[in-house]
Amino acid sequence: MKDYFDLLELQKMVREGLEGLFPEKLWVKAEVASINAKLGGHCYLELVQTLDGAVVSKARATIWASRWRTIKPYFESVTGSTLAAGMEILVQVQVSYSEIYGFSLSISDINPDFSLGKKEAQRRETIKRLQQEGLMDLQKGLSLPALPYRFAVISASDAAGYGDFTRHLLQNPYGFAFEVELFAASMQGVDCPQSVADAIARISENAEAYDAVLILRGGGSALDLDCYDDYVMASAIAHCPLPVLTAVGHDRDFHICDMVSFAYLKTPTALADELIGIFEAEDARLSEFASRMKLAFTNRISQMELRLQNLLTRITSADPRNILKRGYVLVSDERGVVVKSAGAFKRGDRMKLLFADGQVDADIIKVTENKI
């Protein structure tokens, strides 16, 4: 009798033992380390478990084409995202062992609600930590200039949202001038939080050159945007010395980065509208002030014109020529001195009578004074 096993014999025993130990399908929690989905074919994954950042377990897994065609669209419809590396998933598996390929798992189902629930739990923990550290309202203590126009923008350089924002802002119909400087960063995936935090650090080194920091990211799935619930990014935003305005995702999205920021808008274009609106409001205020000043000056001038007209009327009314036109006569002696009393003349004196249409020289023949 031999006292050893052939390799094949040993592996058959292992296979029989494993498959006998796990005859039924199992639900297993694991993290996707890598994924390779063949077009129209099978989907191959490497699943891992980590502890303190180190991989402590690893296994190959396969979703056969017949199941992948069903699992893939359902997972995407629930989570709004494709299955990707870095996700923690709950999968239903059949344990198998091959004498050639070794231990592996055949995946027959994935629970998409678990992936969403896991992210929500992490999100709540992050919010709690930020609250405990006093970071949730740190940005709210800052203030924007009355007319902010110098912006440090954090975005991917080729992102559609960034392009829409700059066109909308810089080509505004009013001709308002803005300055925009891009600080390129990775805006999704596991590298996103640290990349954004690094960009904020670079901006903070020259904070006096800007009025605000803008973080822009267009729409995406729920899992694509879960990096905006990350503690590293939120902490960097909270500690930024400049007001940080965020515009991440769609109208329905609200992330932790929005909570800790100075202000948030739903989309990059909406943020551009908000900034333009600040200048519109100021322009309207100045226009109203100018109109009120113009009206005040107009009223003042009208009052002065009225006073002047009244003065002219009085002057005109007092003009001797106008009095003479009404039938009166101006009497003066021969030297031209106005005489207002008949007693000033005696017989033989000469007098001048000034009418509206001419002058008459006359000799005094008789003077008769009225007795009062």
Tens-digit pLDDT profile for residues 172-221: 999 999 999 999 999 988 889 999 999 999 999 999 999 999 999 877 66
Kindly report the backbone phi and psi dihedral angles of residue 352, in degrees, each rounded to the nearest multiple of 5, phi listed first: -120, 130
**Mean pLDDT across the chain, nearest whole number?**
87
In this structure, of 32-36, 50-54, 145-149, the range with the lowest mean pLDDT score is: 50-54
Does residue 48 contact residue 85 with C-beta atoms inside 8 Å?
no
54 forms beta bridges with: 51
Does residue 153 register a pLDDT over 90?
yes
DSSP 52: T
Q: What is the pLDDT of residue 294?
A: 77
Q: What band does 2 get if pLDDT is binned at 50, 70 and 90?
A: confident
Average pLDDT over residues 343-363: 85
Question: What is the chain's length?
Answer: 372
Does residue 154 register a pLDDT over 90?
yes
CA distance 260 to 270: 19
Q: What band does 100 get if pLDDT is binned at 50, 70 and 90?
A: confident
Q: What is the pLDDT of residue 110?
A: 95
- C-alpha 87: how far from chain center: 31
Q: What is the pLDDT of residue 11?
A: 87
Q: What is the pLDDT of residue 348?
A: 84
Q: What is the pLDDT of residue 1?
A: 65
Give every CB contact of residue 110 below 8 A, 6+ residues apart in sequence. Answer: 71, 75, 83, 89, 90, 91, 92
Q: What is the pLDDT of residue 252?
A: 63
What is the reported pTM? Answer: 0.57
